[in-house]
């Protein structure tokens, strides 16, 4: 049984997108040697655990989320020894490390799929989801299902005159999890990496594992656009393709498998889409006997105000009481950079960090958030993300509008630009004379690790102070959450207690001088503003967040 003090409940996670993190070999691509070299940075910043996006052999059509061999490193990222070295070095730096596990689909270049598509009676045929088309002539897809991207999810294959199902992009055929052989093969992948010492997995689009066994059409939905708290779009729900009861039950099987490895206990965090209530089901109903936790993306559509954050916190607290633990995440390699979503307002970014690192739950920080990296403006015709390809010919204003509405989802290059390490050409990501795989964001001369580490009032300085406090104050990692009644603070101030400390976050450009009665005599332990530690509390500055004792 997990206790409140099990490592993953206390850890703050850092997500690395290896292709864009650090180029250790000088070819313009981030890689495993680069990541290994920067582990001390991750540790010194104050993070406890790393989630690494996929680095396995892959045609890189979806930059690693299309895997062709689950056991080997992509040569452009490193060797198989580098993977083992990465695990070992992470542990030497007292970091836990979790890998990204893509169970739903493989690349269409995976040897399994190459075999599967070769003939109707190939032994691997039933490893993927194949169906006849609808009549007349069978040239219509088997049913109306759309992929997660809103396009037709069935792909016609001439060799055998059948269609295969792909929940994401067309070159990512879904594995058929109703076939026990698939389960056996993928479970041996999981065991392989657990035995190699990995501390757990982030589970890629886990809600898509099973589809309706009878292949019934997805029902009509009144919604045109996608949203964080429901599946489906373009007037079609995803009831028959997302979050099926079989998929929810499968989470328990995964947990049982991973729980065979106890020293240390391993950790599973799922990427599923739907309301927090829906995805909570993956964690188990009464006991936390499913996934340890799941990402909750409702955070991304929450207005940046105290009442909205209070409501969201109440909601996550009600849904995820002990032994459950909510995840707090505001960005990743698929989403608009957080700071850009906040209008480039660095004080808001610091306030968000103060919230994320003090609220009860597991914080996930995507590389570059800690220095306030912004979204790279992308020319749609040069976008490398395959998701953007169908939108290439749109007039630029329309492209930008859809980018805005979808939170950057139709071209993910913007949040994947190289990590900004220094003020040198190419931001220290790769040698100055080499062209990085994506352009570096033009603000790198001011926004980079080296410069910000020297300035305590930077976004980076703020992250370090709050991460450091999290390490020093156990209550920030383990104490229950007690939201202060709004009457104790101003309406635009969100307040809560964690054990012996109080957190006050001023979601407003107005300063709040003076010491409101309940906090008179308190001392500032940390603030989003540098140099306030140890001072008596004298009110809040604009957009200031503090921890008091």
Residues 6+ apart with CB under 8 A from 316: 276, 296, 326, 361
379-390 in b/e form (b: 16+ CB < 10 A) is: ebeebebbbbee
210-413-68 Cα angle (round to 5): 45
Asked if 65 interacts with ligand GLC (CB under 6 A), we say yes
Asked if 168 interacts with ligand GLC (CB under 6 A), we say yes
CB closer to ligand GLC, 170 vs 452:
170
Restricted to residues 221-260, the positions that interact with ligand GLC (CB under 6 A) are: none
Q: How far is the CB of 66 from ligand GLC (least distance, A)?
A: 7
Q: How far is the CB of 330 from ligand GLC (least distance, A)?
A: 15
| Residues 513, 516: Cα–Cα separation, whole Å | 9
Among residues 121, 214, 260, 263, which one is catalytic? Answer: 260
| Residues 513, 442: Cα–Cα separation, whole Å | 37
Residues 6+ apart with CB under 8 A from 214: none
CB closer to ligand GLC, 102 vs 279:
102
Q: How far is the CB of 65 from ligand GLC (least distance, A)?
A: 3
61 touches 165 (CB < 8 A): no
Q: Show the site string, 440-479: x = touches ligand GLC by CB under 6 A, - = not.
A: ----------------------------------------
Tokens of 475: 């209550």
Asked if 163 interacts with ligand GLC (CB under 6 A), we say no
Q: How far is the CB of 453 from ligand GLC (least distance, A)?
A: 29
CB closer to ligand GLC, 406 vs 426:
406
Nearest to 250 by CA among 281, 275, 273: 281
Q: Rg for the chain (alpha carbons), in Å?
A: 23
Q: How far is the CB of 334 from ligand GLC (least distance, A)?
A: 5
Q: Show the site string, 191-220: x = touches ligand GLC by CB under 6 A, - = not.
A: -------------xx---------------
CB closer to ligand GLC, 172 vs 218:
172
How many C-beta atoms lie closer than 10 Å to residue 435's C-beta?
Answer: 10
Phi, psi (degrees; rounded to nearest 5) at 90: -60, -50
Q: Show the site string, 94-133: x = touches ligand GLC by CB under 6 A, - = not.
A: --------x-------------------------------
In the block, which residue shows the tokens 């957080």?
338
Q: How far is the CB of 267 from ligand GLC (least distance, A)?
A: 18
Q: How far is the CB of 448 from ligand GLC (least distance, A)?
A: 25
What DSSP string describes 230-273? B--BTTB--TTTSS-HHHHHHHHHHHHHHTT-TTTTPEEEE---
Q: What is the dihedral of CA 185, 189, 195, 198, to 10 degrees?
A: -160
Query: Under rule CB under 6 A, how many of the chain's residues touch ligand GLC?
Result: 9
- The answer to whether 260 is a known catalytic residue is yes
Residue 315: left (phi > 0), alpha (psi -120 to 50), or beta? alpha
CA distances in angstroms from 128 to 110, 117, 131, 135, 239, listed in the order given: 12, 9, 10, 22, 20
CB closer to ligand GLC, 385 vs 544:
385
Choosing from 23, 31, 48, 62, the residue that interacts with ligand GLC (CB under 6 A) is: 62
Q: Show the site string, 307-336: x = touches ligand GLC by CB under 6 A, - = not.
A: --------------------------xx--
Among residues 48, 82, 174, 204, which one is catalytic? Answer: 204
- The answer to whether 27 is a known catalytic residue is no
Residues near ligand GLC, by CB under 6 A: 62, 65, 102, 168, 204-205, 271, 333-334
* Catalytic annotation, residues: 204, 260
């Amino acid at each position: 049984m997990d206790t409140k003090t099990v490592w993953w409940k206390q850890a703050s996670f850092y997500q690395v997108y290896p292709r864009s993190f650090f180029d250790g070999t000088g070819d313009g691509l981030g890689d495993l040697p680069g990541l290994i070299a920067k582990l001390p940075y991750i540790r010194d910043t104050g993070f406890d655990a790393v989630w690494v996006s996929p680095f396995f052999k892959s045609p890189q059509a979806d930059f690693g989320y299309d895997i062709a061999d689950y056991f080997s490193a992509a040569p452009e990222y490193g060797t198989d020894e580098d993977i083992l070295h990465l695990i070992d070095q992470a542990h030497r730096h007292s970091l836990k490390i979790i890998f990204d596990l893509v169970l739903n689909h493989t690349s269409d270049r995976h040897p399994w799929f190459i075999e599967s598509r070769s003939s109707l009676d190939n032994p691997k045929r039933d490893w993927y989801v194949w169906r006849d088309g609808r009549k007349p002539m069978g040239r219509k897809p088997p049913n109306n299902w759309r992929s997660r991207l809103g396009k037709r999810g069935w792909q016609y294959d001439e060799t055998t005159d059948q269609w295969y199902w792909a929940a994401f992009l067309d070159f990512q055929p879904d594995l058929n999890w109703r076939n026990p052989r698939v389960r056996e093969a993928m479970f041996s992948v999981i065991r392989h990496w657990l035995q190699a010492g990995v501390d757990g997995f982030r589970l890629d689009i886990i809600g898509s594992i099973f589809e309706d066994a009878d292949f019934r059409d997805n029902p009509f939905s009144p919604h045109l656009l996608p949203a964080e708290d429901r599946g489906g779009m373009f007037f079609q729900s995803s009831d028959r393709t997302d979050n099926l009861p079989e998929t929810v039950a499968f989470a328990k099987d995964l947990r049982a498998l991973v729980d065979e490895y106890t020293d240390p206990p391993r950790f599973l965090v799922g990427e599923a889409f739907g309301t927090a209530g829906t995805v909570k089901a993956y964690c188990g109903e009464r006991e936390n006997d499913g996934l340890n936790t799941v990402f909750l993306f409702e955070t991304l559509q929450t207005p940046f105000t105290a009442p909205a954050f209070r409501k969201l916190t109440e909601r996550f607290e009600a849904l995820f009481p002990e032994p459950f633990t909510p995840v707090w995440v505001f960005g990743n390699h698929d989403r608009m950079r957080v700071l850009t979503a906040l209008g480039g307002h660095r004080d808001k970014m610091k306030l968000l960090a103060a919230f994320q690192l003090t609220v009860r739950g597991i914080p996930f920080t995507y590389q570059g958030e800690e220095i306030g990296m912004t979204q790279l403006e992308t020319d749609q015709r040069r976008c490398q993300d395959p998701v953007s390809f169908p939108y290439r010919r749109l007039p630029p204003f329309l492209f930008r509008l859809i980018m805005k509405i979808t939170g950057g989802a139709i071209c993910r290059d913007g949040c994947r630009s190289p990590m900004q390490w220094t003020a040198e050409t190419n931001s220290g990501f790769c040698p100055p004379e080499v062209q990085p795989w994506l352009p570096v964001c033009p603000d790198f001369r001011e926004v980079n690790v080296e410069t910000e580490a020297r300035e305590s009032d930077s976004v980076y300085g703020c992250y370090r102070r709050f991460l450091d406090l999290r390490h020093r104050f156990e209550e920030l990692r383990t104490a229950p959450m007690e939201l202060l009644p709004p009457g104790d603070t101003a309406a635009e101030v969100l307040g809560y207690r964690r054990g012996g400390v109080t957190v006050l976050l001023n979601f407003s450009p107005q300063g709040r001088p003076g010491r409101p009665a309940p906090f008179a005599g308190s001392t500032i332990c940390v603030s989003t503003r540098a140099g306030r530690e140890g001072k008596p509390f004298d009110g809040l500055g604009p957009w200031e967040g503090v921890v008091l004792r």
